[in-house]
Amino acid sequence: MELKPLFGLGDFTFGMTESDVIRLIGGPDKSFLDEDDENELIYQYNRLKLRLTFYQQENGKLGYIRSSNPELTYLGKGIIGTPIEKAKTEILENLISEWEVEDFDFFSTHFNEKYWIVLNTEYEDVTDVELGVPLDDDDKYKWN
């Protein structure tokens, strides 16, 4: 699955509906409402190590993607399991130069707001990637 900043991941693009996704890959292994936000419906696909979040207040559009799929790439280069510094300086360097880093006890997050991308790490290796639908200057979603 190819990371497509500002657009999505692989065949999944921001703005898709649940029915679009089901036509593409079938029903999820698990679906649930986010316990912190009842307006977010999450589809989980175990085999793909993929979670897709549909924003109910936005007519059920796909607005957030999280994946730990070991086949996740950017420009053909693997991301999952890659040391974070290599991911930032060799894989994503031509795209993103500034990252906000938050360190927690056992993991850290590396975030870029312009591309709404998060690289989560443990032991200094990327464990998963989160992508959100980008926002315009008025903080409105920029749907594809």
For 22-50, write each residue's pLDDT tens digit. 999 999 999 999 877 778 999 999 999 99
Each residue's pLDDT tens digit, 114-143: 999 999 999 999 999 999 999 988 889 998
68 has a pLDDT exceeding 80: yes
Distance CA 34, CA 46 (A): 17
Q: Residue 30 — φ and ψ, nearest 5°?
A: -155, 140
Q: What percent of the chain has pLDDT over 90?
A: 90
Residue with the bigger pLDDT between 137 and 101: it is: 101
Q: Is 57 helix (H, G, I), strand (E, B) or coil?
A: helix
Domain spanning 3-132, CATH architecture: 3-Layer(aba) Sandwich (3.40)
Listed range (6-20, 23-37, 53-67) with the worst mean pLDDT: 23-37
Q: Are 110 and 101 in contact (CB under 8 A)?
A: yes
Distance CA 47, CA 32 (A): 17
Q: Is 64 helix (H, G, I), strand (E, B) or coil?
A: strand
